[in-house]
Amino acid sequence: MKIYTGSGDRGKTSLFSGERVSKSDLRVEAYGDVDELNSVLGGLVASLPPEELKLTEEIQRIQSDLFRVGAWLAVTPGSSVASDLEEISEKHSKLLEAAIDRMDKGLSNLKDFLLPGGHISAAWAHVARAVCRRAERHVVRLSATSAKDSESEQLRAVVVYLNRLSDYLFVLARHCNRIHNISDRVWEK
């Protein structure tokens, strides 16, 4: 099978459930951002030292969750494909909260705004956080157009998950700087 088909040359793409929509459709914007976020997390994982195996596995689990989010965003509500997908639920957000609490224990109290950066892994985490926030905004916008209650509930769960994930990524950036003995850089007003 060839990677290029030419079917998108006129600005249309197929959703996971088969419908053709504009590449500027809110749904495509949302799952495109989630795909970008997943790719940035791949860069983050590649920048981690080999001894950070548990952290690598945790981020790869999040990447798998993001594939679920993307697949769910890429289907038309009510389609047979949608009913076969595992939904993102409160348990996914709770796992992020537990990871945030675990990493936060080793960090100093935050009193100022931080400049993104430090170790390359922390910089990747900050980029991921910004992309995550954009994905969240697009899902919120998509949610405002949703007419189906079942889709609205799942979109709300995805918004909560992405909101929690952006918090996780902020704390992860600080954690990455800490494990590399690099101080967070405070914004000088």
Under DSSP, is residue 105 helix (H, G, I), strand (E, B) or coil?
Answer: coil
pLDDT at 177: 93
Phi, psi of 34 (to 5 degrees): -65, -40
- 151-166 pLDDT, tens digit per residue, is 678 889 999 999 999 9
Identify the CATH homologous superfamily for domain 25-74+86-186. Answer: Cobalamin adenosyltransferase-like (1.20.1200.10)
State yes or no: pLDDT of 1 exceeds 90.
Answer: no
Q: Which residue has the higher pLDDT, 52 or 108?
A: 52
Taking alpha carbons only, the member of 44, 48, 170, 189 closest to residue 110 is 170
pLDDT at 149: 61
pTM: 0.89
pLDDT at 116: 81
Average pLDDT value for the chain: 88
